């Protein structure tokens, strides 16, 4: 891997974060009117008396720096974002937006990274076996089942899973992420966390499995027609080696690209899963923020989501040349 490649990827990462921060800054300011004035007008329209309404608006404008030129506001916003100072949350009031997000983030990252990696790995393996002529007959029977699975929305899947495995059988908890809030990591604590994470993870894995399997199947069929596969067979290599090192290794390349994209949708797509399972992650936080019109928190969550997705893409970009030696030439 060349330093130029690493540098370009890093520059791309910062460019994406900067662009996201800028959009985050601009969008609320495109809305007509003044936030303080809007609240006051609402009060007035209900027939309430507000003494010195003009002064209050002016006061707040000065306090939030809204009278400064746009560029000064923008610079201040960037600087604050850089320090992760995203203001105070309205719905979690004494808490700052940053601390509310940092409390929720580990739950989402742990749940999503584990379940996405499982879905990706398992789905790719099944997809590869679906296309492989030497795989057992039972695997081929999975294909229609996976297609159905990939067509069911994940939140519906979450409800089905919840009903079957938590309400009906009672094997798993209805929601939450822990029985007692964990202090430190011991084996029983980890077991409790895994026990609570199992159902949300299962619904994410099930929903993703079909997507990964079908994508891999298509990529694999293409690779199986390549000349290097015929030569690998002619070389007298063992089937297992041809499958993993020659066929699957190459078919995985487009899958990894898709993984970078999927991580983006997965982060925001987990919102409803977390809501369904009462899981205290980013999705649940965002849901609450939306319900209580907590604009600062919504903005903050969007900012963090962009950063995590950009970071995940950066990591994949840096790993990609290890998977495909041709890429560092670009």
Partner 1 sequence: MSDTVLKVSDLTVQYPTASGSFHATRNVSFSLQRGERFGLVGESGSGKSTTILALMRMLKGGLVSSGSLELNGRELTGLDDEAFRKLRFAEMSLVPQGAMNSLNPVLRIGAQIGDIYDDHSVRHGGAERERIIGDLLTRVGLSPEVQRRYPHELSGGMKQRVCIAMSIALTPSLILADEPTSALDVMVQKQVLATLGRVQRDIGAAIILIGHDMALMAHFVTTLGVMYRGELIEVGPVRDVFSNPQHEYTRMLINSLPSFDRQARFIKAAHQEALP
- Total residues at interface with partner 1 (CB under 8 A): 23
Tell whether residue 325 is a contact of partner 1 (CB under 8 A). Answer: yes
State how far the Cα of 77 lies from the Cα of 58, in Å rounded to an integer. Answer: 20
State how far the Cα of 307 lies from the Cα of 60, in Å rounded to an integer. Answer: 30
- The minimum distance between CB 328 and partner 1, in angstroms, equals 10
Does residue 195 contact residue 182 with C-beta atoms inside 8 Å? Answer: no
- The minimum distance between CB 319 and partner 1, in angstroms, equals 13
User: Which span (4-12, 46-54, 93-101, 320-328) binds partner 1, by CB under 8 A?
Assistant: 320-328
Q: Could you write out the three-class secondary structure of 134-176?
A: CCCHHHHHHHHHHHHHHHCCHHHHHHHHHHHHHHHCCCCCCCC
Angle at which helices 295-323 and 97-131 pack, to 10 degrees? 40
State how far the Cα of 214 lies from the Cα of 209, in Å rounded to an integer. Answer: 9
Tell whether residue 246 is a contact of partner 1 (CB under 8 A). Answer: yes
Which of 11, 241, 293, 319 binds partner 1 (CB under 8 A)? It is 241
State how far the Cα of 288 lies from the Cα of 278, in Å rounded to an integer. Answer: 11
Tell whether residue 329 is a contact of partner 1 (CB under 8 A). Answer: yes
Burial class (CB in 10 A: 0-12, 13-18, 19+), 324: middle
Tell whether residue 244 is a contact of partner 1 (CB under 8 A). Answer: no
Which of 117, 245, 293, 319 binds partner 1 (CB under 8 A)? It is 245
3-state secondary structure of 249: helix
Residue 5 or 60 with smaller CB distance to partner 1: 5
Quickly count: other Cβ atoms within 10 Å of residue 145's Cβ. Answer: 12
- The minimum distance between CB 326 and partner 1, in angstroms, equals 5
Tell whether residue 46 is a contact of partner 1 (CB under 8 A). Answer: no
Does residue 143 contact residue 302 with C-beta atoms inside 8 Å? Answer: no
Tell whether residue 319 is a contact of partner 1 (CB under 8 A). Answer: no
Q: Site map for partner 1, 252-271, x if CB under 8 A?
A: -x------------------
Tell whether residue 326 is a contact of partner 1 (CB under 8 A). Answer: yes
Retrieve residue 2's tokens.
């060349």
Residue 142: C-alpha distances to residues 110, 136, 139, 158, 213 (Å): 29, 11, 5, 21, 10
State how far the Cα of 189 lies from the Cα of 203, in Å rounded to an integer. Answer: 22
User: Which span (56-64, 195-203, 245-253, 261-269) binds partner 1, by CB under 8 A?
Assistant: 245-253
State how far the Cα of 98 lies from the Cα of 101, in Å rounded to an integer. Answer: 5
State how far the Cα of 86 lies from the Cα of 301, in Å rounded to an integer. Answer: 10
**Binders in 201-240 for partner 1, by CB under 8 A:** 226-228, 230-238
- The minimum distance between CB 216 and partner 1, in angstroms, equals 16
Tell whether residue 41 is a contact of partner 1 (CB under 8 A). Answer: no
Classify the phi-psi angles of 87: left when phi > 0, otherwise alpha if psi is within -120 to 50, otherwise beta: left
Residue 268 or 328 with smaller CB distance to partner 1: 328
Residue 158 or 232 with smaller CB distance to partner 1: 232
Tell whether residue 249 is a contact of partner 1 (CB under 8 A). Answer: yes
User: Which span (21-29, 84-92, 177-185, 322-330) binds partner 1, by CB under 8 A?
Assistant: 322-330
What does DSSP assign to residue 83? T
- The minimum distance between CB 323 and partner 1, in angstroms, equals 7
User: Which span (5-13, 246-254, 271-279, 303-311) binds partner 1, by CB under 8 A?
Assistant: 246-254
Residues of this chain that bind partner 1 (CB under 8 A): 226-228, 230-238, 241, 245-246, 249-250, 253, 323-326, 329
């Amino acid at each position: 891997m060349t330093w130029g490649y690493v540098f370009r990827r890093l520059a791309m990462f910062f460019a994406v974060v900067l662009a996201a921060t800028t959009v985050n800054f601009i969008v609320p300011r495109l809305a007509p009117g003044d936030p303080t004035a809007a609240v006051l007008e609402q009060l007035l329209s209900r027939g309430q008396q507000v003494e010195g309404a003009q002064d209050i608006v002016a006061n707040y404008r000065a306090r939030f720096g809204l009278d400064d030129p746009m560029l000064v506001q923008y610079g201040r916003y960037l600087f604050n974002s850089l320090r992760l100072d995203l203001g105070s949350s309205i719905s979690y009031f004494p808490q700052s937006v940053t601390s509310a997000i940092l409390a929720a983030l580990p739950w989402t990252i742990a749940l999503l990274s584990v379940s996405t990696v499982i879905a990706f790995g398992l789905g790719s393996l099944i997809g590869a076996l679906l296309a492989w002529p030497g795989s057992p007959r039972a695997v081929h029977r999975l294909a229609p089942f996976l297609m159905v699975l990939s067509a069911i929305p994940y939140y519906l899947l979450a409800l089905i899973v919840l009903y079957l495995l938590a309400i009906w059988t009672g094997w798993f908890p209805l929601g939450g992420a822990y029985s007692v809030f964990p202090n430190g990591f011991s084996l029983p604590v980890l077991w409790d966390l895994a026990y609570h994470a199992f159902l949300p993870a299962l619904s994410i894995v099930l929903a993703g499995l079909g997507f990964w399997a079908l994508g891999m199947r298509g990529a694999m069929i293409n690779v199986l027609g390549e000349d290097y596969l015929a030569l690998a067979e002619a070389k007298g290599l063992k089937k297992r080696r041809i499958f993993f090192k020659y066929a699957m290794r190459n078919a995985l390349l487009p899958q990894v690209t898709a993984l970078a994209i999927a991580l983006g949708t997965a982060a925001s797509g987990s919102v409803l899963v977390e809501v369904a399972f009462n899981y205290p992650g980013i999705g649940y936080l965002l849901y609450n923020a939306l319900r209580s019109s907590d604009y600062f928190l919504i903005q903050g969550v969007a900012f963090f989501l962009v950063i995590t997705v950009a970071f995940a893409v950066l990591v994949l970009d840096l790993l990609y040349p290890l998977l495909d030696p041709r890429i560092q030439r670009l």
